[in-house]
Structure 1
Amino acid sequence: MRSDVELREIGREDFEEEDKVQDEIKRVPPWQKQITIRGIIASILIGVIYSVIVMKLCLTTGLVPNLNVSAALLAFVFLRTWTSFLQKLGIVTVPFTRQENTIVQTCAVACYSIAVGGGFGSYLLGLNRKTYEQAGVDTQGNAPISFKEPGVGWMTGFLFVSSFVGLLALVPLRKIMIIDYKLRYPSGTATANLINGFHTSRGENEPRVEVHGFVKCLLISFLWSFFQWSYSGGNQYGFPQFPKFGLKAWENSQFCRFYFDFNMTYIGAGMISSHLVNLSLLLGAVLSWGVMWPLIGDMKGKWFPSSLPESSMKSLNGYKVFISIALILGDGLYNFFKTLFFIIRSIHDRLKDKKLSSCPDSKKQALDDLVRNEVFMREGIPIWLACFGYTFFSIISIVVIPKVFPELKWYYVVVAYMLAPSLSFCNAYGTGLTDINMAYNYGKVALFVLSAVAGKDSGAVVGLVGCGLIKSIVSISSDLMHDFKTGHLTLTSPRSMLLSQAIGTAVGCVVAPLTFFLFYNAFDVGNPDGEYKAPYALIYRNMAILGVQGFSALPQHCLQLCYAFFGFAVVANLVRDTSPKKIGKWVPLPMAMAVPFLVGGYFAIDMCVGSLVVFAWHRLNSQKASLMVPVVASGLICGDGLWILPSSILALVKRNPSIR
């Protein structure tokens, strides 16, 4: 037994620890002061810039890297520059805190996430007439009435009624996911670590290197994009046509799409993405455009009629689209069941641990955890508010969406919103474990089911819109949990996080359609031979047709090739997960390989150049590379993104570059 002196000592330590917790909590500003006017302005500005950037990526390759860390960095650069400028003018400003940094990042990410997940490059664009015609006007399941041209009004309304439901789906479970289950949410944790690092002594005293590096790279990227534009006076001219790989490669570049176009957005994205993603893209490009499509093209007249144009789904384009779908589905289904297995195993283990942790000798929580948990729970969100909000927005959606899309009956929407909370929980839990957001896969399952149920006349529209509903709710609720994890680690109130997410979502529902129409009116979006191919629009359209029609939609011998690539995707994932790490880290990612099958190899080369820069930098100075790679990548992406605005305006007024 412990003596009275030992018991008194333990009691004194407990009181001291409690005092430390309370002192730390008192230094955290209340949630109302964490949201500032300057923060909202910075959030909107960053959200608009990133909406333009990710919209370009969605409409060119469909591959968007995770930009949360980059948004947190940009938020720090903007507000640190602003406060420093005012201080030099002698104007007293409110201190810039990590909580405000987190709020700005959350609001900005919520804004540009609408551009990423709003379906502008996939299911919503798959409804337009051009995609309908590319899928084959005489194809069964691609009914003449199954298209709807894009419009700012209906797109904005659809986003408003579908996006806010997801914000409230999992709010009552935030304590279970963040505190009880202690899910990692790697992207949210990485963002929090970056923000905390900025606001420690190093972040307070040495921000100039990051700020100057970002501004320098932004200006270089902006000026380079202007220079490239000046020398692109025709389709056969400019830097994409420069024979960097030799004249023979240049002669075949129009078919093989192998060229390096010095695009700063893709180079920056390659610096953020892992080496495995970039190498998988390059492998997919070589395998498809370098080997498969030339061989299948030689089978014209045997496998498919020579009279058909290449863009027909019964011609070479059909093999491109459906083999891409097979790779995507194989990878998606494997990861879906893998994540489901992890969820069941993790919940089972936690139930066992709960029984063991009830013993009196369990270890005390660390001081940091006590502070974080106290702040996270101090200003909670009432459960009744979340339930009422979810019901309210669901009712609005059930009334409004069938009016926008008469093919989608109201009972389809009811069923979707009844299933959404459980699907959102599974996705958010799996994302917390693996950092893999499976929202697109839940949406694809809904697409196939609804297309098959609705039938050939309306199946395409019902499948595409239903896919968007499920995907939107599941994705936004998972993103909110990522933000809650960031807020938990940076001592930011859940109330301010939810409010900033709502503000960012509302701004995004307005900004994203306007950004889309900036591209849609200025460029030839959806042209398979142009820059803005929007490959996923055609992929999603054909998924809906496949759901209606079945395998009869496939051209000759395409089914066997789809089986092979579906199996390859499953086997590749199995090998990567079961083999030793030194072998598994070199197994390609099927989802990444699928993108260049339809788009081409040019952006894969750009992204591999980004990987090469990172690899060389780490070899020369690993410490500086770890600090500056996100800064340089963000500057390159933002500089090229800023040039998109003036280039779009020039295209709208028909001012084309004259230098060739």
Structure 2
Amino acid sequence: MKEDNRPHIGPDIKLPETTLKAVLLGVLLSAILAGANAYLGLFAGMTVSASIPAAVISMAILKLFRKHNILENNAVQTAASAGESLAAGVIFTFPALVLMGYWQEFNYLETALIALSGGILGVFFTIPLRKALIIDMKLKFPEGIATSEVLKTGEAGGKAIWLLVFGGLFGAVIKFAEAGLKVWDGIFAKAILTKNNLLASFSLNLSPALISVGYIVGVKISVVIFIGGVISWWIGIPAYVYYFGNPDGLSPVDLGYSLWSSQIRFLGVGAMVVGGLWALINLRKTLTFALRTGLRSFREVPDGTELRTDKDTPMKWVILGIGAMIVPIFIIYLREIHDVGITILMSGIMIIAGFLFASVAGYMAGLVGSSNNPISGVTIATILTSALILLALMGEDATGGPVAAIMIGSVVACAAAIAGDNMQDLKAGYILGATPFRQQMMQLTGVVAAALALPLVLDLLNTGYGFGPKTPENPDSLTAPQATLMQSVAEGVFGGNLPWNMVYIGMAIGVAVIIIDKVLEARNSEFRIPVLALAVGLYLPFELDSAIMLGGLMSWIISLRRSSISVPDLKAARQRSDQAGLLFASGLITGEALIGIVLAIPVAIYGSSDVLAITNGEMPSWPGILVIILVCLFLMRLAIRAYNVKEK
């Protein structure tokens, strides 16, 4: 999609942007989308950008008012998308504190403060980088451009909202039938173990939300994630079983999950560490240029003649804001570390890591979009590094060491997640002609709303479902893949029981993938293998990898089907088709996530996941398979029909 260098709204035109209704709607959507993406991330291990759905919702609602404009809509989606991004940083780390047994429930004040501080730092860290990454480097920022296009064609917003609503209702009904009424088993899983210790397994999560995630990220990323799952589940686990057998006599399915949990998923840790370091190395020149530009902007004093579309948050505010956020973080760290000197050191490491990785996240958002940002990679690298430093300074007997490492990682994760989203939104604003300062204020507003809502959502989900591997007490537990991994790394470093052999093998896989990807790049191949996407596949349960892959295949099949249809305006047809599929898929995700949160309420009250069940005993999975087939067919029909529609 070619970008027009001229702003949609010229700098000499002033339109109301941060109106009262825009702020209130942004706050509401930020809290709702934060809750929905928190559930999705704990369930699926991935989150997706909410900018376009938020823009469509905003357009539909603001049309009810006599006065509204495109920049006001952009302000709403800026605040709303902050909730989704902050949720990613929070759910990748905070549940680890519950899994560790450090918290029995989510400490509201600490959770909100750390999320708030990390999110605000993410906004402030990227403000001095805006001109370098968006204007000077002219990075693609695909989701920012797509959001601006949706807003510019806003007259379709009233009709498009029904795709979101219908998808939401569809996703909610399916989730209620599966998780509430227990009509079918949500996971199809089969495995066999021969006498020669040859293990073969396959599993598929029957969730429309996961299919939608794969559809949104596309077939290329889905394939890479699936390759990671194949390495772990079809190569790593069978090889381990072949050499070491099944001494505990577990069933084939349970054996696979046991080895994945205790050994194989740490391949993903090694690959992620390599991927995080590679991102820094590979982008060193680019980041150096961006940092120089940013530091220069700190020294520049506005002379009052700058254009409206160039006006950022004053650098004095940025510096004061960063300093203010360090205070609560320092106090919380000190409670765990109990040493002022070490706390000062770790706070400094957090600020440096946060700034570096926020810069990486902002740049990567410009290259591949915020949905594909390496948040998991930078977080695992931060936690592993912090844990090793704390171990060297505090010793193995330091009870607060693993907790401190997780809290350091949580701030960095929140900052990196928000940084990518902020740059994406600022790119959309740059194309539309928004005022950067006002967008940055709306981003901060969205961060505050999400930070206040997320602790309540997390506590409700923990009470209703629980986190981590499924147990008899928590049969519907949310797997929280990243959080369980962060827990294992932090505790493993201090306990001395981290399976380093698996980590080293994962590092070797990461290096091999980077080499293969560079070869593909040299050959100008359209297919690439991002190491961090493969690392995600390595540590996810296979039923998630396969479901995401199915969604990616759907996007590929739709693209093939579209290529066989002749239309008058190819660009417009693709935009219609992409938007129809994206909005319906986003609705499926949001509906399933929100009903999942609602279902946690009766489960928490009655202490049983079967409180609404209408079936007893073993549940079949075939009804869920039929539902997934119908969802896929309907998604295909919707996207193709939108592509082939006759324009008036």
Normalised to the residue count of structure 2, the TM-score between the two structures is 0.76
Amino acid at match of 2:334: P
What displacement does 1:559 show?
A: 6.1
Partner of residue 98, structure 1: 70
Q: 2:307 aligns with which of 361, 364, 374?
A: 374
Structural mapping, 1:31-110, within 5 Å: 33-80=16-63, 83=64, 93-110=65-82
SS at match of 1:581: coil
Residues 156 and 324 (structure 1), Cα distance of their counterparts in 2 relative to 1, 3 Å cut: same
CA distance in 2, matches of 1:157, 1:220: 36
What displacement does 1:181 show?
A: 4.2
Partner of residue 605, structure 1: 546
CA distance in 1, matches of 2:350, 2:205: 43
What CA deviation, in whole Å up to 9, does each residue of 1:26-73 have, x standing for no partner? Answer: 5431xxx31233323332332233223211222123122333233323
Q: 1:159 aligns with which of 115, 125, 148?
A: 115
Amino acid at match of 1:606: A
CA distance in 2, matches of 1:210, 1:589: 33
Amino acid at match of 1:449: T
Structural mapping, 1:550-561, within 5 Å: 553-554=498-499, 558=502, 561=505
Amino acid at match of 2:532: M
Structural mapping, 1:169-248, within 5 Å: 169-198=125-154, 204=155, 206-229=156-179, 231-232=181-182, 238=185, 240-241=187-188
Tell me whether 1:457 sits opposite 2:443 in the alignment.
no
- 2:365–2:423 contact (8 Å) kept in structure 1: no
- 1:314–1:554 contact (8 Å) kept in structure 2: no
Q: 1:578 aligns with which of 517, 522, 531?
A: 522
Residues 568 and 152 (structure 1), Cα distance of their counterparts in 2 relative to 1, 3 Å cut: same
Partner of residue 297, structure 2: none
- 1:572–1:590 contact (8 Å) kept in structure 2: no
Partner of residue 28, structure 1: 14
SS at match of 2:270: helix
- 2:268–2:503 contact (8 Å) kept in structure 1: no
Residues 525 and 382 (structure 1), Cα distance of their counterparts in 2 relative to 1, 3 Å cut: same
Which has the higher mean CA deviation after the structures are superposed, 260-269 or 418-427? Answer: 418-427
CA distance in 2, matches of 1:600, 1:419: 29
What displacement does 1:207 show?
A: 3.9
CA distance in 1, matches of 2:535, 2:343: 33
What displacement does 1:497 show?
A: 0.9
Partner of residue 13, structure 1: none
- 1:331–1:573 contact (8 Å) kept in structure 2: no
CA distance in 2, matches of 1:35, 1:417: 30
What displacement does 1:511 show?
A: 0.8
Amino acid at match of 2:25: A
SS at match of 1:258: strand
Structural mapping, 1:294-373, within 5 Å: 294-300=238-244, 317-343=261-287
SS at match of 1:72: helix
What displacement does 1:545 show?
A: 4.5
CA distance in 1, matches of 2:72, 2:104: 41
What CA deviation, in whole Å up to 9, does each residue of 1:346-366 have, x standing for no partner? Answer: 999x9xxxxxxxxxxxxxxxx
Residues 612 and 341 (structure 1), Cα distance of their counterparts in 2 relative to 1, 3 Å cut: same
Which ranges in structure 2 are unaligned for 5 or more consecutive residues? 1-5, 194-198, 294-305, 564-572, 617-648
Residues 147 and 77 (structure 1), Cα distance of their counterparts in 2 relative to 1, 3 Å cut: same
CA distance in 1, matches of 2:356, 2:515: 29
CA distance in 2, matches of 1:265, 1:124: 23
CA distance in 1, matches of 2:205, 2:7: 55
CA distance in 2, matches of 1:314, 1:218: 35
Structural mapping, 1:605-644, within 5 Å: 605-621=546-562, 623=573, 624-644=576-596
- 1:428–1:481 contact (8 Å) kept in structure 2: yes
Structural mapping, 1:425-504, within 5 Å: 425=359, 427-429=361-363, 431-433=365-367, 435=369, 437-438=373-374, 440-455=376-391, 456-458=396-398, 459-504=401-446
CA distance in 2, matches of 1:425, 1:602: 33
CA distance in 2, matches of 1:21, 1:329: 40
Q: 1:520 aligns with which of 459, 462, 471?
A: 462
Partner of residue 301, structure 2: none
Q: 1:416 aligns with which of 337, 350, 360?
A: 350
- 1:50–1:641 contact (8 Å) kept in structure 2: no
CA distance in 2, matches of 1:562, 1:123: 21
User: Sequence identity of aligned pairs in percent?
Assistant: 17
Partner of residue 542, structure 1: 488
Partner of residue 12, structure 1: none
Amino acid at match of 1:105: Q
- 1:256–1:290 contact (8 Å) kept in structure 2: yes
SS at match of 1:35: coil
Amino acid at match of 1:238: D
Amino acid at match of 1:534: A
CA distance in 1, matches of 2:192, 2:360: 51
- 1:61–1:595 contact (8 Å) kept in structure 2: no
CA distance in 2, matches of 1:22, 1:535: 42
Amino acid at match of 1:327: A
What displacement does 1:387 show?
A: 1.9
What displacement does 1:175 show?
A: 3.6
What CA deviation, in whole Å up to 9, does each residue of 1:544-585 have, x standing for no partner? Answer: 3455577x7327x64664454233333333233333314xx0
What displacement does 1:506 show?
A: 0.8
What CA deviation, in whole Å up to 9, does each residue of 1:104-150 have, x standing for no partner? Answer: 111111123221112x3x3322233x446xxxxxxxxxxxxx77863
Normalised to the residue count of structure 1, the TM-score between the two structures is 0.75
What CA deviation, in whole Å up to 9, does each residue of 1:201-254 have, x standing for no partner? Answer: xxx2x4454233332222222222223345526xxx53535x9x9x989xxxxx
What displacement does 1:509 show?
A: 0.8
SS at match of 2:440: helix
What displacement does 1:313 show?
A: 12
CA distance in 2, matches of 1:68, 1:419: 26
Tell me whether 1:658 sits opposite 2:593 in the alignment.
no
Amino acid at match of 1:615: W
CA distance in 2, matches of 1:25, 1:328: 43
- 2:309–2:433 contact (8 Å) kept in structure 1: yes
Which has the higher mean CA deviation after the structures are superposed, 108-117 or 153-162? Answer: 153-162
Q: How many residues align?
A: 563
Residues 178 and 625 (structure 1), Cα distance of their counterparts in 2 relative to 1, 3 Å cut: closer
Tell me whether 1:123 sits opposite 2:93 in the alignment.
yes
Amino acid at match of 2:553: L
What CA deviation, in whole Å up to 9, does each residue of 1:438-479 have, x standing for no partner? Answer: 555444443233222222233322322222233333443443
Which has the higher mean CA deviation after the structures are superposed, 279-288 or 635-644? Answer: 279-288
- 1:163–1:505 contact (8 Å) kept in structure 2: yes
- 2:60–2:158 contact (8 Å) kept in structure 1: no
Amino acid at match of 1:374: L
Residues 297 and 192 (structure 1), Cα distance of their counterparts in 2 relative to 1, 3 Å cut: same
CA distance in 1, matches of 2:8, 2:535: 53
